[in-house]
Amino acid sequence: MNSGTPATTARSAPLYERVSSVIPAIEWPVFAKEIDAIIELKRMRNAVVLAHNYQTPEIFHCVADIVGDSLALAREAAKTDAEVIVLAGVHFMAETAKLLNPDKTVLIPDPAAGCSLASSITAADVRLMRKRYPGAPVVTYVNTSAAVKAESDVCCTSGNAAKVVRSLGERKIIMLPDEYLARNVAAETGADIVAWAGHCEVHERFTAAEVRALRQQHPGIIVLAHPECPPEVVAEADCAGSTAGLADYVARERPARVVLLTECSMSDNVAVQHPETEFIRPCNLCPHMKRITLAKIRRALESMTHPVTIDPAVAGRARAAVERMLAL
């Protein structure tokens, strides 16, 4: 094992205090060495690390400059003065950051960090949906490629999907590609939504029976669900929201015991900030998010890899769909 020196471990002691409840002490010297190097590289490169809420605690709490849900990462990417953005998340998030910062270098530490929703639909599919439902506006979840965004009227995230749908005031709306998000938003807004059959491979695994079993095993537990979960799961939950929405619920309501029906690292990251809350963890891992590691972030900053590029033929139209969402 390639451990850090006693000096790097000592320097990072205050950081370790933050995450000691979720990272075993024996793992820390390896992380400390990478964290030390990344902090120095960020300074040298005038770089910021934007990390999604599903990143592991050593990334989320120790090297990220900005953390949040997809909406917050898009907003913050649009604001930063840094020359280089390292997106610790999946490819569509890095692409969104690049759309909003065409003149900056946006790096994704592992370009294979995909998303089952993004790979469920192509630009040609969106064009077919438009033909089938003429005149219906197309709302595209940000969990899509730039080429798909370019075929859309406006983007949305899990944090603002209902708001975006209400803003259209249309009778029929096409919402792509997450079937469950679309059905959950239709239930919330009463809108007539045509969906696509894309699913998040992490959230589709939660079931209503699992929620009922959790309530029996842990009386009084608060169940929070991400809206990528099937509608029958959301119906059994106490509250549904984006990853930031779920974290805000815990911060606001301080439940004694909670379960977050979402990706595993989310509970670790929120638990660090709320030691008074007991987190029950029947979570599911996102293999794409887990491709991002401290070692890959370090390599990205050392060798300036992998820069995100967007086909100029789609970039302008994709940017307009994201900017329309941010303007709401």
User: Residue 256 and residue 237: Cα distance in Å, rounded?
Assistant: 16
- Which residues touch 60 (CB under 8 Å, ≥6 apart)? 51, 53, 67, 265, 269
Choosing from 34, 36, 58, 69, the residue that interacts with ligand 13P (CB under 6 A) is 69
Q: What tokens does 171 get? A: 């009778």
Length of the chain: 328
| 56 binding partner (options ligand 13P, ligand SF4, none; Cβ < 5 to 8 Å by kind) | none
DSSP string, 156-202: E-TTTHHHHHHHH--SEEEEESBHHHHHHHHHHH--EEEE--B--TT
Minimum distance of ligand 13P from residue 265's CB (angstroms): 11
Q: What tokens does 20 get? A: 């000691």
Cβ closest to ligand 13P, residue 4 vs residue 68:
68
Residue 36-75 contact track with ligand SF4, rule CB under 6 A, x = bound: ----------------------------------------
User: Residue 308 and residue 91: Cα distance in Å, rounded?
Assistant: 9
Choosing from 9, 120, 143, 293, the residue that interacts with ligand 13P (CB under 6 A) is 143
Is residue 32 a contact residue for ligand SF4 (CB under 6 A)? no
Minimum distance of ligand SF4 from residue 25's CB (angstroms): 29
| 36 binding partner (options ligand 13P, ligand SF4, none; Cβ < 5 to 8 Å by kind) | none
32-40, 121-129, 283-291, 319-327 -> range binding ligand SF4 (CB under 6 A): 283-291
Is residue 152 a contact residue for ligand 13P (CB under 6 A)? no
Side-chain-facing half-sphere of 66: CA atoms under 13 Å: 22
| 32 binding partner (options ligand SF4, ligand 13P, none; Cβ < 5 to 8 Å by kind) | none
Choosing from 126, 155, 200, 322, the residue that interacts with ligand 13P (CB under 6 A) is 200
Residue 217-236 contact track with ligand SF4, rule CB under 6 A, x = bound: -----------x--------
User: Residue 29 and residue 59: Cα distance in Å, rounded?
Assistant: 14
Backbone angles phi, psi at 299, to 5 degrees: -60, -40
Burial 214-236, CB ≥16 within 10 A → b, else e: bbeeeeebbbbbbbbbbbebbeb
**Three-state helix/strand/coil letters over 7-28:** HHHHHCHHHHHHHCCCCCHHHH
Chain positions contacting ligand 13P, by CB under 6 A: 53, 69-71, 143, 157-159, 200, 226, 228, 242-243
Chain positions contacting ligand SF4, by CB under 6 A: 90, 115-117, 143, 200-202, 228, 263, 286, 288-289
